[in-house]
Amino acid sequence: MRLCTVKVSGHPRVGLIEADRIRLLPAQAGDMVALITQGRAAIDRLAARGDLEAVPLVQTDLMAPIQRFGRDVLCTGWNYWDHFEESRGKRDGQDVDRPKAPTFFTKSPSTIVGPYGDIGLDGHISAKWDYEAEVALVIGKRCRSVSQAEALDCVFGYFLANDVSQRDLQRRHGGQWLKGKSIDRTMPIGPWIVTPDELDLPEAQLELRLNGQVMQSAFVKQMAFPIAELIAELSFGMTLEPGDVLITGTPSGIGNAREPQVFLKAGDEMVVSATGLGELRNRIVSANLHGTTDIPSMSEAL
Ligand code: MG
Protein backbone atom coordinates (compact mmCIF):
# COMPACT_ATOMS: atom_id res chain seq x y z
CA MET A 1 0.00 0.00 0.00
CA ARG A 2 1.22 3.48 -0.88
CA LEU A 3 -0.33 6.34 1.13
CA CYS A 4 0.08 10.00 0.29
CA THR A 5 -1.10 13.37 1.51
CA VAL A 6 -2.46 15.36 -1.42
CA LYS A 7 -3.78 18.91 -1.64
CA VAL A 8 -7.45 18.84 -2.72
CA SER A 9 -9.25 22.22 -3.00
CA GLY A 10 -6.49 23.73 -0.88
CA HIS A 11 -6.75 21.17 1.92
CA PRO A 12 -4.61 18.14 2.76
CA ARG A 13 -6.26 14.74 2.26
CA VAL A 14 -4.88 11.26 2.68
CA GLY A 15 -5.09 9.04 -0.37
CA LEU A 16 -4.08 5.68 -1.75
CA ILE A 17 -1.78 5.79 -4.77
CA GLU A 18 -3.06 3.37 -7.39
CA ALA A 19 -1.31 3.58 -10.78
CA ASP A 20 -2.05 7.07 -12.15
CA ARG A 21 -4.77 8.01 -9.69
CA ILE A 22 -5.26 8.66 -6.00
CA ARG A 23 -8.29 7.26 -4.17
CA LEU A 24 -9.09 9.68 -1.35
CA LEU A 25 -9.85 8.28 2.09
CA PRO A 26 -12.83 9.92 3.83
CA ALA A 27 -11.87 13.29 5.32
CA GLN A 28 -13.60 12.27 8.56
CA ALA A 29 -11.00 9.51 8.99
CA GLY A 30 -8.45 12.21 9.81
CA ASP A 31 -4.91 13.00 8.74
CA MET A 32 -2.05 10.57 8.13
CA VAL A 33 -1.04 10.36 11.78
CA ALA A 34 -4.65 9.72 12.84
CA LEU A 35 -4.89 6.92 10.27
CA ILE A 36 -1.56 5.40 11.28
CA THR A 37 -2.70 5.46 14.90
CA GLN A 38 -5.92 3.64 13.99
CA GLY A 39 -3.75 0.90 12.48
CA ARG A 40 -3.34 -0.99 9.25
CA ALA A 41 -6.53 -3.07 9.65
CA ALA A 42 -8.64 0.10 9.92
CA ILE A 43 -6.97 1.57 6.84
CA ASP A 44 -7.55 -1.69 4.93
CA ARG A 45 -11.27 -1.48 5.77
CA LEU A 46 -11.43 2.09 4.44
CA ALA A 47 -9.45 1.10 1.33
CA ALA A 48 -11.92 -1.71 0.58
CA ARG A 49 -14.83 0.75 0.28
CA GLY A 50 -16.18 1.11 -3.23
CA ASP A 51 -17.34 4.71 -2.85
CA LEU A 52 -13.98 6.51 -2.50
CA GLU A 53 -13.52 9.57 -4.67
CA ALA A 54 -10.56 9.34 -7.08
CA VAL A 55 -8.39 12.18 -8.41
CA PRO A 56 -5.56 12.02 -10.99
CA LEU A 57 -2.06 11.60 -9.59
CA VAL A 58 -0.51 15.02 -10.20
CA GLN A 59 2.91 15.20 -8.62
CA THR A 60 2.79 18.89 -7.85
CA ASP A 61 -0.24 18.41 -5.60
CA LEU A 62 1.58 15.95 -3.34
CA MET A 63 2.46 17.30 0.10
CA ALA A 64 4.81 15.90 2.73
CA PRO A 65 2.99 12.68 3.70
CA ILE A 66 3.17 13.56 7.40
CA GLN A 67 1.98 17.04 8.32
CA ARG A 68 1.63 16.78 12.12
CA PHE A 69 4.45 15.99 14.53
CA GLY A 70 4.20 15.10 18.21
CA ARG A 71 7.94 15.58 18.71
CA ASP A 72 11.09 16.47 16.81
CA VAL A 73 12.13 14.34 13.84
CA LEU A 74 14.36 11.55 15.20
CA CYS A 75 17.63 11.24 13.27
CA THR A 76 20.54 8.84 12.88
CA GLY A 77 24.10 10.00 12.25
CA TRP A 78 26.94 8.02 10.63
CA ASN A 79 24.97 4.93 9.69
CA TYR A 80 27.04 3.95 6.66
CA TRP A 81 30.71 3.34 7.48
CA ASP A 82 31.89 4.70 4.13
CA HIS A 83 30.22 8.00 5.06
CA PHE A 84 31.81 7.95 8.52
CA GLU A 85 35.25 7.40 6.98
CA GLU A 86 34.91 10.00 4.20
CA SER A 87 34.42 12.73 6.82
CA ARG A 88 37.46 11.74 8.91
CA GLY A 89 39.61 14.84 9.42
CA LYS A 90 36.89 17.05 7.92
CA ARG A 91 34.90 17.67 11.08
CA ASP A 92 36.81 20.80 12.11
CA GLY A 93 38.34 19.26 15.21
CA GLN A 94 35.15 17.39 16.18
CA ASP A 95 36.40 13.95 15.09
CA VAL A 96 35.44 10.91 17.17
CA ASP A 97 36.18 7.18 17.08
CA ARG A 98 33.94 4.82 15.13
CA PRO A 99 30.79 4.48 17.31
CA LYS A 100 29.80 1.10 18.82
CA ALA A 101 26.12 2.05 19.08
CA PRO A 102 23.98 4.20 16.76
CA THR A 103 24.38 7.99 16.93
CA PHE A 104 21.08 9.81 17.41
CA PHE A 105 19.99 13.45 17.31
CA THR A 106 16.81 15.35 16.49
CA LYS A 107 15.79 18.15 14.16
CA SER A 108 12.83 20.50 14.07
CA PRO A 109 9.57 19.51 12.32
CA SER A 110 9.59 23.05 10.83
CA THR A 111 12.20 21.67 8.40
CA ILE A 112 9.58 19.60 6.57
CA VAL A 113 8.83 20.50 2.95
CA GLY A 114 6.94 18.57 0.26
CA PRO A 115 8.51 15.99 -2.07
CA TYR A 116 8.69 18.46 -4.98
CA GLY A 117 8.85 21.73 -3.04
CA ASP A 118 11.49 24.40 -3.54
CA ILE A 119 14.12 24.81 -0.83
CA GLY A 120 15.08 28.38 0.05
CA LEU A 121 18.82 29.03 0.40
CA ASP A 122 20.23 32.10 2.15
CA GLY A 123 24.00 32.60 2.14
CA HIS A 124 23.68 34.81 5.23
CA ILE A 125 22.39 31.83 7.25
CA SER A 126 25.01 29.41 5.93
CA ALA A 127 27.80 29.26 3.36
CA LYS A 128 27.85 25.45 3.42
CA TRP A 129 24.52 23.96 2.34
CA ASP A 130 24.79 20.21 1.80
CA TYR A 131 22.52 17.28 0.89
CA GLU A 132 21.96 13.86 2.54
CA ALA A 133 19.81 11.16 0.90
CA GLU A 134 18.14 8.97 3.52
CA VAL A 135 15.49 6.33 4.05
CA ALA A 136 12.89 7.49 6.58
CA LEU A 137 10.32 5.49 8.51
CA VAL A 138 7.21 6.24 10.51
CA ILE A 139 6.37 4.32 13.67
CA GLY A 140 3.01 2.51 13.54
CA LYS A 141 2.49 1.41 17.12
CA ARG A 142 3.57 2.55 20.56
CA CYS A 143 6.69 0.74 21.68
CA ARG A 144 9.33 0.87 24.39
CA SER A 145 12.43 -1.30 24.87
CA VAL A 146 11.48 -3.60 22.00
CA SER A 147 13.83 -6.40 20.97
CA GLN A 148 15.39 -6.34 17.51
CA ALA A 149 13.13 -9.29 16.63
CA GLU A 150 10.02 -7.20 17.43
CA ALA A 151 11.31 -3.87 16.16
CA LEU A 152 10.26 -3.99 12.52
CA ASP A 153 6.67 -4.83 13.56
CA CYS A 154 6.55 -1.30 15.02
CA VAL A 155 7.19 0.33 11.62
CA PHE A 156 4.12 1.50 9.70
CA GLY A 157 5.98 2.35 6.51
CA TYR A 158 8.97 3.83 4.73
CA PHE A 159 9.65 6.87 2.56
CA LEU A 160 12.52 9.13 1.46
CA ALA A 161 14.11 12.16 3.08
CA ASN A 162 16.81 14.64 2.10
CA ASP A 163 18.45 15.80 5.34
CA VAL A 164 19.72 19.11 3.92
CA SER A 165 22.35 20.40 6.35
CA GLN A 166 24.32 23.56 7.02
CA ARG A 167 27.84 22.36 7.81
CA ASP A 168 29.07 25.66 9.25
CA LEU A 169 26.11 25.81 11.66
CA GLN A 170 26.85 22.23 12.74
CA ARG A 171 30.34 23.36 13.81
CA ARG A 172 29.52 26.88 15.07
CA HIS A 173 27.43 25.80 18.04
CA GLY A 174 29.62 23.11 19.57
CA GLY A 175 29.41 19.38 19.12
CA GLN A 176 25.71 19.33 18.27
CA TRP A 177 23.69 18.58 15.18
CA LEU A 178 20.43 20.36 15.99
CA LYS A 179 21.17 23.84 14.68
CA GLY A 180 22.83 22.83 11.41
CA LYS A 181 19.93 20.50 10.64
CA SER A 182 16.93 22.64 11.58
CA ILE A 183 16.62 25.52 9.12
CA ASP A 184 12.96 25.98 8.15
CA ARG A 185 11.59 24.11 5.13
CA THR A 186 14.82 22.38 4.15
CA MET A 187 13.94 18.68 4.54
CA PRO A 188 11.77 17.22 1.78
CA ILE A 189 10.06 13.94 2.68
CA GLY A 190 7.87 11.55 0.72
CA PRO A 191 6.73 11.29 -1.97
CA TRP A 192 4.42 8.77 -0.21
CA ILE A 193 4.58 6.15 2.54
CA VAL A 194 5.14 2.57 1.35
CA THR A 195 4.10 -0.22 3.70
CA PRO A 196 6.75 -2.87 4.50
CA ASP A 197 4.92 -5.70 2.68
CA GLU A 198 5.64 -3.93 -0.65
CA LEU A 199 9.39 -3.59 -0.13
CA ASP A 200 12.60 -5.60 -0.09
CA LEU A 201 14.27 -2.79 1.82
CA PRO A 202 17.79 -4.23 2.38
CA GLU A 203 18.15 -4.63 -1.39
CA ALA A 204 16.87 -1.13 -2.16
CA GLN A 205 19.41 1.20 -3.77
CA LEU A 206 19.42 4.73 -2.36
CA GLU A 207 20.70 7.49 -4.64
CA LEU A 208 21.07 11.24 -4.81
CA ARG A 209 21.62 13.06 -8.09
CA LEU A 210 22.65 16.70 -8.15
CA ASN A 211 21.91 18.40 -11.49
CA GLY A 212 21.79 14.92 -13.05
CA GLN A 213 25.09 13.69 -11.61
CA VAL A 214 25.04 10.75 -9.17
CA MET A 215 26.58 11.99 -5.91
CA GLN A 216 25.46 9.26 -3.49
CA SER A 217 24.62 5.61 -4.20
CA ALA A 218 24.39 2.73 -1.71
CA PHE A 219 22.26 -0.25 -0.78
CA VAL A 220 20.22 -0.08 2.42
CA LYS A 221 21.87 -3.35 3.53
CA GLN A 222 25.14 -1.41 3.84
CA MET A 223 23.83 0.35 6.97
CA ALA A 224 26.22 0.12 9.93
CA PHE A 225 23.25 -0.42 12.26
CA PRO A 226 20.24 -2.05 10.56
CA ILE A 227 16.81 -0.53 11.08
CA ALA A 228 15.75 -3.17 13.63
CA GLU A 229 18.79 -2.28 15.72
CA LEU A 230 18.07 1.47 15.40
CA ILE A 231 14.55 0.98 16.76
CA ALA A 232 15.69 -1.37 19.54
CA GLU A 233 18.30 1.17 20.67
CA LEU A 234 16.12 4.26 20.26
CA SER A 235 13.16 2.69 22.10
CA PHE A 236 15.42 1.50 24.94
CA GLY A 237 13.61 3.08 27.89
CA MET A 238 12.06 5.75 25.61
CA THR A 239 8.54 5.33 24.26
CA LEU A 240 8.07 5.74 20.53
CA GLU A 241 4.59 6.77 19.41
CA PRO A 242 2.61 6.20 16.21
CA GLY A 243 3.51 9.01 13.81
CA ASP A 244 7.07 9.44 15.12
CA VAL A 245 9.49 9.80 12.22
CA LEU A 246 13.03 8.40 12.18
CA ILE A 247 15.53 9.11 9.42
CA THR A 248 18.17 6.41 9.16
CA GLY A 249 21.40 8.07 8.02
CA THR A 250 23.11 8.91 4.76
CA PRO A 251 25.74 7.04 2.72
CA SER A 252 29.01 8.51 1.41
CA GLY A 253 29.21 11.20 -1.25
CA ILE A 254 28.10 14.28 0.71
CA GLY A 255 29.37 17.59 -0.64
CA ASN A 256 31.35 18.55 2.48
CA ALA A 257 33.58 15.46 2.20
CA ARG A 258 34.34 15.86 -1.52
CA GLU A 259 37.57 17.24 -2.93
CA PRO A 260 36.93 19.88 -3.98
CA GLN A 261 33.94 20.40 -1.72
CA VAL A 262 30.52 20.84 -3.35
CA PHE A 263 27.92 23.04 -1.69
CA LEU A 264 24.39 23.75 -2.90
CA LYS A 265 23.57 26.97 -4.77
CA ALA A 266 20.46 28.58 -6.23
CA GLY A 267 19.34 26.81 -9.40
CA ASP A 268 20.53 23.34 -8.31
CA GLU A 269 18.16 20.41 -8.56
CA MET A 270 18.42 17.43 -6.20
CA VAL A 271 16.74 14.09 -6.89
CA VAL A 272 16.69 11.47 -4.14
CA SER A 273 15.45 8.01 -5.13
CA ALA A 274 15.37 4.46 -3.81
CA THR A 275 14.08 1.22 -5.26
CA GLY A 276 10.36 0.95 -4.48
CA LEU A 277 10.13 4.30 -2.72
CA GLY A 278 9.81 6.71 -5.66
CA GLU A 279 11.74 9.98 -5.75
CA LEU A 280 12.01 13.45 -4.24
CA ARG A 281 12.78 16.25 -6.67
CA ASN A 282 13.65 19.65 -5.20
CA ARG A 283 15.06 22.85 -6.59
CA ILE A 284 17.24 25.27 -4.65
CA VAL A 285 16.05 28.88 -4.84
CA SER A 286 17.37 32.10 -3.32
CA ALA A 287 15.55 33.21 -0.18
CA ASN A 288 15.87 35.76 2.59
CA LEU A 289 15.77 33.77 5.80
CA HIS A 290 17.83 36.15 7.95
CA GLY A 291 15.44 39.11 8.17
CA THR A 292 16.63 41.71 10.69
CA THR A 293 19.18 39.53 12.49
CA ASP A 294 22.28 41.20 13.89
CA ILE A 295 24.28 38.00 13.53
CA PRO A 296 26.90 38.50 10.80
CA SER A 297 26.60 36.62 7.51
CA MET A 298 28.11 33.13 7.58
CA SER A 299 29.42 33.76 4.06
CA GLU A 300 31.47 36.74 5.30
CA ALA A 301 32.90 34.60 8.10
CA LEU A 302 34.77 32.43 5.57
MG1 MG B 1 21.49 12.89 8.02
Distance set, CA 70 to CA 243, 245, 255 (Å): 8, 10, 32
Using the mean position of ligand 1's atoms as its centre, give its distance from the Cα of residue 164 in Å: 8
Q: What distance in angstroms lies between residue 249's CA and the mean position of ligand 1's atoms?
A: 5
Q: Supply the pLDDT for residue 81.
A: 87
Cα of 137 vs centre of ligand 1, distance in Å, is 13
- The secondary structure of 140-174 as a DSSP string is -S-BSS--HHHHGGGEEEEEEEE--EEHHHHHHTS
Distance 207 CA to ligand 1 centre (A): 14
| d(CA 127, ligand 1 centre) in Å | 18
**3-class DSSP state of 193:** strand
What is the per-residue pLDDT for 302? 66
Q: Separation of 177 CA from ligand 1 center, angstroms?
A: 9
Which SS3 state, helix, strand or coil, does residue 61 take? helix
Determine the distance separating the centroid of ligand 1 and the alpha carbon of 145, expressed in angstroms.
24
In order of their start, the domains of the chain are 2-63 (no CATH), 73-301 (3.90.850.10)
pTM for the structure as a whole:
0.95
CA distances from 1 to 144, 153, 160, 216, 276 (A): 26, 16, 16, 27, 11
* Closest to 240 (Cα-Cα) out of 1, 36, 4: 36
pLDDT, tens only, 122-154: 999 999 999 999 999 999 999 999 999 999 999
**For residues 46 and 38, is the Cβ–Cβ distance under 8 A?**
no
- pLDDT for 239-294, tens place per residue? 999 999 999 999 999 999 999 999 999 999 999 999 999 999 999 999 999 999 99
* Tens-digit pLDDT profile for residues 187-228: 999 999 999 999 999 999 999 999 999 999 999 999 999 999
Between CA 107 and CA 75 the distance in angstroms is 7
